[in-house]
Amino acid sequence: MPVLEIPYGEELLVATGQTASELEPELRFLLASKLYELGRVSAGQAGKLAGVSRLHFLAELGRRGFTVVHLDPDEVEDELRDDPPELHQ
């Protein structure tokens, strides 16, 4: 399995106020979140990259205020059209 190494200096730890063991999982999560946001990976793949389950990944996205569901305008229109009429009153 390929491994990505990203060198960083002590100044990043100082700037974030984190230890290496706190920062590195956060960086994995942020990378996974961005790839998910861009539509490059599924939620399951992003969870694996972040080192957590798909459900944990999605819950953490929501907890951090990130978008969990990505719909393009046509998909939104389809979803609204499929709702019962009483929801649109």
- The reported pTM is 0.74
In contact, 66 and 33? CB cutoff 8 Å: yes
pLDDT in tens, 51-76: 999 999 999 999 999 877 766 666 65
SS3 14: helix
Q: String of b and e for 61-71 (b: at least 16 CB within 10 Å)?
A: beeeeeeeeee
Distances (CA, A) of 67 to 62, 63, 84: 7, 10, 25
Q: pLDDT band for 86, please (50, 70, 90 cuts).
A: low
Q: pLDDT band for 77, please (50, 70, 90 cuts).
A: low
Work out the mean pLDDT of the chain and round it to a whole number: 86
